[in-house]
Structure 1
Amino acid sequence: MKATGIVRKIDNLGRVVIPKEIRKEMKINNGNTLEIFVDQDDSVILKKYSPVEELDRLEDYIDTLIETTECNVMITDTDKVVAGSKEMERYAKRPVGHGVKQAMENRNTEIIETATEANICEGCNKHDKCELGSVLISPIIKQGDVLGAIILSSENRALGDYESKIAETSSKIFSKQLGL
């Protein structure tokens, strides 16, 4: 744990303001949920909470999506790739890219016909060949809040209505499984 040198008072309602610099660095936005931990030495620790990471049997969902759609699969929260099919393991824990952020902001299922890795994840080396083929992104929404996305990709064929319906249905199932 590193010290920031910032000190804040708790107000009469028990609130404390997280400084803008820390919120920006940690990508904490209005409406984000924080998990509170108490350490043995009386430290209070705030951690961004990802309900998508808490899903039980995430691998079973991924396997079912692979069997049903014959696509590669990734599951994200609002910040990073949480899990994926074997072919997508290299993306685990990487920040989501602009294509995923755009789909989550628009709250719509979107298809990118010739997606690059940068559409899906940040941190792609621009000199690498990073084409993923056709990619479908379906946001996971619960009670009006975007919690993540289901991503399907295929290098062999264009994705369409069938895959959209499967991804949207899966997103709705996920949202019912997520606690908040």
Structure 2
Amino acid sequence: MKATGVVRRIDDLGRVVIPKEIRRTMRIRNGEPLEIYVDREGEVILKKYAPISELSNYAQEYADSLNEALGLAVCIADHDEIIAVSGIAKKDLLRKGLSSELEEVVSSKKSILINHDHSLDNDGRISVKNSAASPIIVNNEAIGAVIITSKDQTNLGDLEKKLADTAASFLAKQMGAKS
């Protein structure tokens, strides 16, 4: 584990402040839930809580099914990283951060069609031509997104957008059933 060189004291209420540099690096936002673990050596581990990651196997099966039916690439993401990929090399996208354009889909809670060259990941390595993206919303909170995309000139339209909406709604219902 990397040492950060930052020391914080626990206050009277048992709270500790996570330094701004670490929050920025780890993309931890105000009000975002964290999981707390204690490992065998007694170290306390804070991990960003991503509720949709509980459904990652299920999300992968759904992405595979959509890919088979449409012949288009499908990605399913939590609020800031891709957790399921089908139709594009998984090693290139799995666990990569979302591009800022796709992060905006999640935060805006609105489905969109993107009909220009854009990146799926925050590194800008995976460029695609068109995408239909729909946020996964549980209890009025956006927890991820379903992205149907094309690397070629295939135009995506209302059908792909509705399929992304349907997939997002279905995964949201599954998340609601788990809580």
- Shorter-chain TM-score tier: 0.7 to 0.9
Q: Cα distance 1:66–1:110, how it changes in 2: closer, same or farther (>3 A)? A: same
Consecutive unaligned residues in structure 2, runs of 5 or more:
none
Which residue is equivalent to 1:93?
A: 95
Residue 131 of structure 1: CA displacement?
Answer: 4.3
What TM-score, normalized to structure 2?
0.86
Residue 114 of structure 1: CA displacement?
Answer: 2.0
Which residue is equivalent to 1:133?
A: 129
Is residue 105 of structure 1 aligned with residue 101 of structure 2? no
Residue 34 of structure 1: CA displacement?
Answer: 1.1
Let me know the Cα RMSD of the aligned residues: 1.9
Which residue is equivalent to 2:164?
A: 167
Q: For 1:23-172, what aligned pairs fall within 5 Å after superposition?
A: 23-55=23-55, 56-89=57-90, 90-117=92-119, 120-124=120-124, 131-154=127-150, 155-172=152-169
Read off the aligned partner of 1:139 and give its amino acid letter: P
User: How far apart in 2 are the matches of 1:18 and 1:87?
Assistant: 36
Residue 88 of structure 1: CA displacement?
Answer: 4.2
Residue 14 of structure 1: CA displacement?
Answer: 2.7
User: How far apart in 1 are the matches of 2:54 and 2:166?
Assistant: 19
Residue 124 of structure 1: CA displacement?
Answer: 2.7
User: How far apart in 2 are the matches of 1:131 and 1:7?
Assistant: 41
Consecutive unaligned residues in structure 1, runs of 5 or more:
none
Read off the aligned partner of 2:7 and give its amino acid letter: V
Identity of aligned residues (%): 38
User: How far apart in 1 are the matches of 2:97 and 2:79?
Assistant: 9
User: How far apart in 2 are the matches of 1:48 and 1:157?
Assistant: 36
Secondary structure, counterpart of 2:143 in structure 1: strand
How many residues align? The count is: 174
